[in-house]
Amino acid sequence: MDTRPLIAVIVGSTREGRVGDAIARWFVDRAKQRADLDIELIDLAEFDFPARYPEEATPQMTTFTAAVGRADGYVVVTPEYNHSFPASLKQAIDYAYDEWNAKPVGFVSYGCGGRGRYAVDALRVVFAELHTMAVRDEVGIDLMAVDGAGTPRDEDVLELSVMTMLDQLTWWARALREARAARPYLA
């Protein structure tokens, strides 16, 4: 059966007054135009994670890891904080391990003046450790180049980069789902 891969879009910023939710909505609106994938939004601001990594997973942690586990691939929406990605995102990523394995991940990043380049570079290192396949092309948004209505000035270029990244992600999501079904991944 060749069902559409389920792509989890993870909203990494939980900051009060964040723009991350608006960026994620902009991305999801475009991703939903495609007939070859399904989208599930995972907004980290909706989770109540513990302040300290507990001995046993809390129900909120289990809910998050189950969502990671059922997805066939991921798009991480991340701001750049001090040339890396936010702590809220690292906290959540570290709750899962096997659930990430042998699945593809793509990135939508943003920053002020930059496009979140350093955040994505840092995430690529983390996701390599989690045995994911990070796709080559990315979507990078400069918040300084957004008009009064919240629309990026280079929207045409960005929309093309969304589709290019999703083409790669969808190909890998299908290929790796078939591979995992044929043979368990040995992490």
Ligand X SMILES: Cc1cc2nc3c(=O)[nH]c(=O)nc-3n(C[C@H](O)[C@H](O)[C@H](O)COP(=O)(O)O)c2cc1C
Is 138 a binder of ligand X (CB under 6 A)?
A: no
Taking a C-beta distance cutoff of 8 angstroms, is the pair 130, 100 a contact?
Answer: yes
Burial class (CB in 10 A: 0-12, 13-18, 19+), 35: exposed
With respect to ligand X, which residue has the nearer C-beta, 10 or 37?
10
* Binding map of ligand X across residues 141-170, x = CB under 6 A, - = no contact: --x---------------------------
- Per CB under 6 A, does 109 bind ligand X? no
**Per-position DSSP letters for 158-172, written without gaps between them:** HHHHHHHHHHHHHHH
Nearest to 158 by CA among 10, 11, 27: 27
Can you tell me which of 18, 30, 131, 180 binds ligand X, judged by CB under 6 A? 18
Site mask for ligand X (CB under 6 A), range 52-91, x = bound: ---------------------------xxxxx--------
140 binds ligand X (CB under 6 A): no
DSSP lists the bridge partners of residue 132 as none
Is the CB of residue 127 less than 8 Å from the CB of residue 100? yes
Residue 17, both tokens: 């007054």
Which of 3, 35, 55, 113 forms a contact with ligand X (CB under 6 A)? 113
- CB of residue 115 to ligand X, shortest distance in Å: 8
The residue within the footprint of ligand X, chosen from 73, 104, 106, 111 (CB under 6 A), is: 111
Element (H, E) at 78: strand 73-79
Within a 10 A sphere around the Cβ of 62, how many other Cβ atoms?
A: 12
Q: Which residues bind ligand X (CB under 6 A)?
A: 13, 15, 18-20, 79-83, 111-114, 143
